[in-house]
Amino acid sequence: ATTYMRGIAARFLALRGVLADDAAGPDPAFAAAAAAFREISAPFDLAVVELEHAEWLLGQGRGEDAEPLLAEAGEIFERLRARPWLERLDAAREPTALTPAPRAR
């Protein structure tokens, strides 16, 4: 498989972990996807993965871990003039996004 395909596969594995509320967490898969996209200089894909990872981290109450991802994703989206993605990033930074979602019991 190409590096790009490995990045896509890792991204979807991470998102599957998010949706399944995987106890191991999607961090390793998000990191693998980001590494693949960084390796092949695919900035848009990298920024999307970083934003998705940051959104998950924020939902887990891990705002400090999310901030560097949001910063880099924001820089990339600005450079690419990806306005809808910047809006999504801004929404993730809203104060309510920093509060962990209540867990079902």
3-class DSSP assignment, residue 62: coil
Residue 100 has pLDDT above 60, yes or no: no
Within a domain: 102: no
- Report the amino acid identity of residue 11: R
How many domains does the chain divide into? 1
Within a domain: 45: yes
In tens, the pLDDT along 39-96 reads 999 999 999 999 999 999 999 999 999 999 999 999 999 999 999 999 999 999 987 5
Residue 72, Cβ neighbours under 10 Å: how many? Answer: 18
Domain of 34 in residue numbering reads as 3-97
Within a domain: 104: no
Within a domain: 70: yes
Contacts of 7 (CB under 8 A, 6+ apart): 32, 33, 35, 36, 37, 40, 42, 45, 49
Within a domain: 105: no
Within a domain: 103: no
Within a domain: 61: yes
Sequence-ordered alpha helix ranges (H) in the chain: 3-19, 27-39, 43-59, 63-80, 83-92
